[in-house]
Chains A and B, each alone.
Chain A
C-alpha cells in the first residue's frame, strides 16, 4: 500500500488580506478581503485576491443576498428596502426610514435619526443628535417614542415625547424636558431647565440651579434674584377644569440662604403644619444649621425673607414639545407699544431699527477713481 502525502490539511486564519505579505500565503490560509473570506489554493501564493485560480471564496457575504447593504457613508451599513440610510462614517441604520448620519452613529427603529458623533437612537421617531460634531461631544441616546436626545456630552432621553437637550441631561417619562445642564426630569409634562435641576412629577418645574421639585404643578423657583439656591420643593397645585389655568402651591419648600429655611405654605394642610416643629427639628439634626419656619419669617419685617413664601406662581416655562403657536404670537400690540414701538418699514423710514453702528465699524479709506467701470470689463464664464 502506497503512501499519499496530503500536505497541509488545516485551515489557518491569517486575518485581512495583505497583497505584500512576504513569501506569500500558504495553501489553505484563510484571509478576508472586503467582507469576503478567501482560501489560498497554493503555497507561496502572491497572486492578487482577484485571481480565481489562486484564491477561492469561502464565504461570500454578498450583500446582494443580505438584508443589509452598504450605506452611502464610508464603512456604513443600512437595511435594504426600508428607506434606511447610513450616510456618515461607520454609521448603522436599521429599520424603516432609520437615518444615521454623523460618525459612529446607530439608528434603529422607525423614522429614527442620528447625527453628530457616537449617538444612538432607537424606537419610533427618536432622534439622537448632539450638535457639536466630533470636535465637541457625542454619545447621545434616545429611545422610546418621539424622544430627542440632542444635548451634548451624553444626553439621554427615553419614554414618550421627552427631550434631553441640556448638556449631559437626562429625561424620562412622558412629555418631559431636561434642558438644563446635567439636569434630570421624570413624570409627565415636567421641566428641568436649570443646571443640576431635578424635576419629577406632574407638570412640575425645576428652573433654579440645583433645585429639586416634586408633586403636582409645583415650581421650584427662587424668589430672590441674588439669593442662594432652593434645594427642595414639593408642590400641590391644581389646574382649573374650566379655565385650564394652573395654580402652583408649594406644600413644602426648603431653602438655603445662609441658614436653612423650612416653609409650609398651604394652610389647608393642618396635619402637615402641625408636624412642622418635628420636621424642623429633624432637619436641624440632619443639616446642623438653624432652621426657621415660614410663619416665623413673616413676623420679621426687618428682613426681606418673607418673599420666600412664594406659593401660587403661574407656569411660564413649558417643554417645547407642548409649546403652541400661541406662545409665539402672544405679544400684544399693547405690549409692543408700551415697551417697544416696533415700527414698520416704510419708504420714508426703510430701516426702522437704526443700528448704533450703521456705518460699520472701522473705515475703508477712499481710493481715487482708477478709471475702471464694471461695464467696460469683459468676463468669461
Chain B
C-alpha cells in the first residue's frame, strides 16, 4: 500500500492548492550540471528544481532525479525518492551544447517505457495531472504541446545525417512542427526505441570536437540541434502513433492554467521577480525544502 506523505509546515495555506495526495506513480527528472557554467544560474536552478519537486510530491508523484556527482552533492537533502549520479555516464564526447542529453540518459537509465520525464522547470499543480498516461497503455507517447517551428531551414541538409531512423531523407514533410518535450513519456516500445536510437546515433556523429568547430561560425547552433534531436525527432517519428499532448497548439498557456500545468520554459524564469515569487511558493508548499534548497544554492556559488 502506498504511503501518504505529509510534510511539515504547510498547514492550511489558503492558496487554492489542494492537500497532499497519495503518491501513486513515478516521474523522472534530470539535471546535467556540466553545461551550467554560470554559478548564479546553478544557484537559481536549485530553487526551481526544488519547487518542481514540491509540486510533484504534493500532487501525487514520486520523483527520481538523475543528475551527476555535482548535482547529487547539491541536492542530496531534497527528498527525491531516488537521487542518482546517472549523468556521470555522459561521455566527454557529448557537446555541452546539447544540454537535453541528460534527459535521454535519464530515460535510458529508467528503461524508457512507462514513466514520464518532466523538465525541472515544469510544475504539476493539480493532483494526478499526468495519470492518464500511466493508466491508459494505448497512449503511445505523451508530450507537452505540438508547436510550429519554421526557422530551421538552414539545418535541413543535416537532417538526413541526424535521423537515421524514420526520416524521409529526400522528402521534407509538409508539417515542420515539433513536439515540446517538457513532458515526455513512452508506452510504445518501438517508438521509444526509434526515438532514443536517433538521439544516441546523432551523438556519435556530432561530437564535442565537431561542435567546437561548428560553434565558431554558428554560436547558436545548439538551439537548432536540440530542437531537431529532441523535439522534431519526436514529431516525425510519432506520425501514425497515438500521441497524447497535454496542451493544444492554440492557447497552450491558457489551457495550462486550467489544467494545472506550468512549464517555465525560456528565459523568464531567470528574472529576479519571478525567482522571488517561486521562492515564496516554495516556502508555502514546503518550508523545510526551501531551507534545503537555500543551502544548496549557497553551495552552488562556491
Contact = CB atoms under 8 A, between A and B. Distances in A.
Contacts of A325: 210, 213
B253 A361 contact: yes
B265 A361 contact: yes
A132 B108 contact: yes
Contacts of B204: 148, 150, 320
B63 interface: no
Given A331-B157, A336-B154, A344-B219, A372 B197 contact: no
Contacts of A377: 291, 294
A23 to B, nearest CB: 40
A136 B113 contact: yes
A75 B157 CA distance: 47
Interface in A304-353: 316-318, 320, 323, 325, 327-331, 335-336, 339-340, 342, 344-345, 351-353
B196 A357 contact: no
A179 B192 CA distance: 16
A359 B268 contact: yes
Contacts of A193: 160, 164, 169
Interface string A127-164: 00011111111000000000010111100000000000
Interface stretch (B3-11, B133-141, B273-281): B273-281
Interface in A191-217: 193-195, 207-208
A72 to B, nearest CB: 15
A166 interface: yes
Interface stretch (B19-27, B29-37, B64-72, B145-153): B145-153
Given A165-B197, A362-B261, A323 B266 contact: no
Interface in B244-272: 247, 252-253, 256-257, 261-269
Given A131-B197, A165-B164, A193-B169, A381 B277 contact: no
A165 B166 CA distance: 12
B106 to A, nearest CB: 12
B295 A381 contact: yes
Given A336-B154, A345-B220, A377-B291, A131 B200 contact: yes
A167 B298 CA distance: 46
B160 A316 contact: yes
B281 A364 contact: yes
B147 A136 contact: no
A221 interface: yes
Nearest to A377: B294
B202 to A, nearest CB: 9
B189 interface: yes
A361 B223 CA distance: 19
B217 interface: yes
Contact of B291 (A137, A153, A379): A379
A235 interface: no
A62 interface: no
A340 B268 CA distance: 25
A317 B164 CA distance: 10
A358 B196 contact: no
B229 to A, nearest CB: 13
Nearest to B199: A131
A225 interface: yes
A358 B153 contact: no
Contacts of A133: 108-109, 111-112
Contacts of B256: 361-363
A361 B277 contact: no
State the 6 A-B residue pairs at the shortest beta-carbon distance, nearest first. A135-B111, A362-B262, A362-B256, A179-B164, A379-B295, A358-B266
Interface of A: 130-137, 148, 150-153, 165-167, 179-181, 193-195, 207-208, 221-222, 225, 316-318, 320, 323, 325, 327-331, 335-336, 339-340, 342, 344-345, 351-353, 355-364, 366-370, 372, 374, 377, 379-381
Interface of B: 15, 108-114, 121, 123, 125, 144-145, 147-148, 151-155, 157-158, 160-161, 164-166, 168-171, 182, 189-190, 192-194, 196-197, 199-201, 204-206, 210-211, 213-214, 217-220, 223, 247, 252-253, 256-257, 261-269, 274, 277-281, 283-284, 291, 294-295, 297-299
13 contacts: A150-B197, A150-B201, A207-B160, A316-B157, A331-B154, A356-B148, A358-B267, A361-B247, A362-B125, A366-B277, A372-B283, A374-B294, A377-B291
Given A320-B201, A331-B155, A361-B253, 10 more contacts: A165-B201, A325-B213, A345-B219, A356-B148, A357-B147, A358-B266, A360-B264, A364-B123, A364-B281, A379-B294
